[in-house]
Each structure stands twice: as C-alpha cells, then as structure tokens.
Amino acid sequence: MRVFFTLVFAVAGLCLAAQETPKAYYVVVTSFKSSQVNYAQNLADKIKSGGTEAGFVQDPERPFCYVYTARFTDFNESLAKMKAIREAGTYTDAWVRILDDAPTTAAATVPKSEKKPTASVYVAIPKEVVQAAVQQEPSATPPQPEPVTAPPVVADAVVENSPAEPVYVPQTLNNTQIFLSLINPRNQKIIDGEIEVVDTERARSITKVKGNTYLTLPDPKSNSGQLTLICEAFGYRKTQHEISFKNTEADTLQPHIDLVGNFYLVKFDMVRLHKGDISVLYNVYFYNDAAIMRPESKFELNSLLNMMQENPNYKIVLHGHTNGNSNGKIITMGPSKDFFNFNATDRKDGFGSSKQLSEERAEAIKEWLMAQGVAESRMIVKAWGGGRMLHDKHSAHARKNVRVEVEVLEE
C-alpha cells in the first residue's frame, strides 16, 4: 500500500534548556532531515542569489536542519519578521524556531547527533498544497543523501512509506503544547494578559495561565474533554475560545486555532473597550486607609495610559469603591505629589467616610494620568464607597471590593 505524507511544515517548541541559556529565534522557511544537508545548502544559496540573506542551522535535539532568512535574539522581533515574510507571499508557511543561542550559522557539514532521532509526526494535507510547495524546491538537482534505514523524508515532498505500516498519532493537547497569542490586531502589538482555563462540561475553573507562552493545558478529565479559554487583559474586552482536549486537530477548522508543527497556536485578537464597557483596575493597589498607590501598580496604570493615548477620543469615568461603609482615617499625598511613596513626612493624615476614601483614590489615578499628559476634560471621578461591593466584607474575597473601575463614556 502506498501512502503519501508530508513533513510538518512548521516546527517550533518550548526551549528545554536552562533558563539562563540565551536563545536565538530563527525565522524558518523550510526544514530537511539532518542527512539532507545539501538540500538545505542549495536552497539557502538560491535564496541568497535573489538578494535575501539566508542560512541553515542544525537542531541539536531533533534530526532536522532548518533553512532560515533571519535570526534574532528578541522573540517579538522574530514574530514581526515572520509575519512580514508570510505577507510577502513567497513563504506563506514561515515560522519561528527557538534554539539555544550558539554560533551555528550556515555550515557545509553537520555534526552527528549522539541522541536518537525523535519520532516524526506526519500530518495529511491537500494534494494541491503539496504540489504548490514542491514548485518552490531548488531548481538545481542536489546530490543524493546517504542511504538510511528508513525512507528519506524531504520537506514538502511526496515520498513512499517504508514496508511497515505507518502509525498516525493524532495531535491532541495530551501530546502537543499550546501557544496562547494575545495580539491587538489594529497595531500588531503583543498584549499582556491572563487566560482562565475552564472545564466546560462542569463549568469549573481549573487554572489561570499567562498569555504569550508555551504550555501544556490541563486535562479536564471529562467525557467531552472540552475546555473554555477566557482571556482578560486590562483595557480590552474579554475574549473566549473553546478547544477540545481530545480532538484538537478538528478545532483547527476554526479561524483562531492553527496546528503549527509541534504546537497549537490559539490566537486571541484583542478588541479595545467600547462605549459603556467597564474594566477593573484590580492590579492597582493602595496602602491601607490611603489614597497613595503601591509601586507595583505602575504596570496596570501604564496599560490605562496606553489605552487613553491610543484613542484620543476616549472619555472615561473612574469609579472608586471600598470594602464597607465605615468611617476612618484617610491618608493622602503631600505637596510633592509622590503617587507611590508612603512617606510619613510628605503626606496628609485626615478622617472621613469610606465614600470620601474611594473618591480620593479615584482622584489619585486621575491626577497621575494628568501628570502623564492626559487632559482633565477626558476624565470624571465618581465615588461609591461600599455601596457596590462584589463580595461580603468579611469573606475571603473581600479584598476585591477595594477597586477602581474604568467606564468608557465616549470613544
């Protein structure tokens, strides 16, 4: 029986070396087996003859070498280059391969690996796609590789199987990592955010993970195997995707899920807040009884500032909330207006209601934005005290009652 298959177009993955090892990010256009280094050399030479820099690099962990057109030490720069190459139309399946940063530029020979080759995973693709890819092979006929025990696998080429029946292993989340990509599609900026992983069948939260990372998603151990991924990033609308732990390949029919070689890419195209939307500054923290912010609040404040700068038509309301309605001490900034320094010699100690405290805290954020150049006319402060608590003031989640919400009035 003759079975046709193609080598996975895109190979990328989580680096397993120690964290202190520098990484290099290669924008790869195709791959070859290690024994077919001449193919890689010929293709790299052909690309260079057209005026584009190119080379090839050996994967130290797998029996492949990669032809690349750019190499970076910054991951975001490599993603931007990959996108530009894809949009140019010549290499629409370009991808980023992460390797240890070592002087492994184009070479005529490739050292033999002492490790056993890892098993290849073959993914069936339409015949017309294979034919189109074959047309991109180098015009010159390269020398034939040395015989190997298994039939050679040439990137983007159709070859005959060995006499043994091939074993097709579906790529599920049980054996394949995932990359959660958070992007603002309007400017292609990478967005910092968090994804909550929910067992869809039981409506139960399993864990929360950071976006823009490679990871292995947890098994919900349910009959359906369905997971719901809920992405939240301040200044953006909540985005939700469904994915199957057991039958992930079928989910690649959805526009936001792709199988990119040895990992699944789930894309969250983040949308800015619209008129009437409310987002909570949960990561802006105040000192007790004070309208003075802790230094760790700067990151989310900068996210708010970016939102206001990105759309000069935004007008917002800053809603201040506290945990309960009791009166007490209120500490505010002194003459220096140091927003993040709880300095006993440069502050004002007063007394008032929880509503006054919530107003002072919202005002502190407003004043900080004004200090960064945001016009005062674009912001309104509203104080609620403990009038709109989310949880009982004595519960384990009472801290979430202390918050400032941002509501979009105009956009």
Q: Residue 284: what residue type?
A: V
Percent pLDDT > 70 in the chain is 78
> Minimum mean pLDDT among 90-104, 121-135, 273-287: which range?
121-135
Instruction: Identify the pLDDT of residue 357.
Output: 96
> Taking all residues of the chain, what is their mean pLDDT, rounded to a whole number?
81
| Of residues 177, 259, 160, the one with CA closest to residue 213 | 177
What's the whole-number mean pLDDT along residues 239-262? 92
* pLDDT digits 0-9 by tens, 257-302: 998 878 999 999 999 999 999 999 999 999 999 999 999 999 999 9
Asked if residue 156 has pLDDT above 90, the reply is no
What's the whole-number mean pLDDT along residues 72-87? 85
Instruction: Identify the pLDDT of residue 204.
Output: 95
Q: What is the dihedral of CA 206, 209, 212, 214, to 10 degrees?
A: -70
User: Residues 6 or more apart from 135 whose CB is under 8 A from it?
Assistant: none
Instruction: Identify the pLDDT of residue 346.
Output: 85
**pLDDT tier for residue 107 given thresholds of 50, 70 and 90:** very low
> Minimum mean pLDDT among 18-22, 248-252, 324-328: which range?
18-22
Instruction: Identify the pLDDT of residue 109.
Output: 34
Mapping DSSP onto H, E and C, the string for the chain reads CCCCCCECCCCCCCCCCCCCCCEEEEEEEEEEEHHHHHHHHHHHHHHHHCCCCCEEEECCCCCEEEEEEEEECCHHHHHHHHHHHHHHCCCCCCEEEEEECCCCCCCCCCCCCCCCCCCCCECCCCHHHHHHHHCCCCCCCCCCCCCCCCCCCCCCCCCCCCCCCCCCCCCCCCCCEEEEEEEECCCCEECCCEEEEEECCCCEEEEEEECCCEECCCCCCCCCCEEEEEEECCCECCEEEEEECCCHHHHHHCCCEEEECCEEEEEEECCECCCCCEEECCCCCECCCECCECHHHHHHHHHHHHHHHHCCCCEEEEEEECCCCCCEEEEEECCCCCCCCCCCCCEEEEEECHHHHHHHHHHHHHHHHHHCCCCHHHEEEEEEECCCCCCCCCCCCHHHHCEEEEEEEEC
- CA-to-CA distance for 408 and 295, rounded, in angstroms? 25
Instruction: Identify the pLDDT of residue 371.
Output: 96
Instruction: Identify the pLDDT of residue 168.
Output: 52
257 backbone dihedrals φ, ψ, rounded to 5° = -125, 125
> Minimum mean pLDDT among 70-79, 206-215, 323-332, 372-381: which range?
70-79
**How far apart, in Å, are the Cα atoms of 211 and each of 131, 201, 232, 278, 327?**
36, 23, 10, 21, 41
**pLDDT tier for residue 207 given thresholds of 50, 70 and 90:** very high
Q: Which domains occur in the chain, in start order?
A: 1-169 (3.30.70.1070), 177-269 (2.60.40.1120), 278-410 (3.30.1330.60)
Instruction: Identify the pLDDT of residue 330.
Output: 95
Q: Residue 119: what residue type?
A: A
User: Residues 6 or more apart from 175 whose CB is under 8 A from it?
Assistant: 169
Structure tokens at 164: 């043994």
Asked if residue 141 has pLDDT above 80, the reply is no
Instruction: Identify the pLDDT of residue 136.
Output: 47
Instruction: Identify the pLDDT of residue 260.
Output: 85
Task: Decide: 307 and 237 in contact? Cβ < 8 Å.
Answer: no
- For residue 66, the tally of other CB atoms under 10 A from its CB is 23
Instruction: Identify the pLDDT of residue 21.
Output: 57
Percent pLDDT > 90 in the chain is 52
Task: Decide: 190 and 306 in contact? Cβ < 8 Å.
Answer: no
Q: Residue 297: what residue type?
A: S
Asked if residue 148 has pLDDT above 80, the reply is no
What's the whole-number mean pLDDT along residues 153-167? 46
What's the whole-number mean pLDDT along residues 10-26? 53
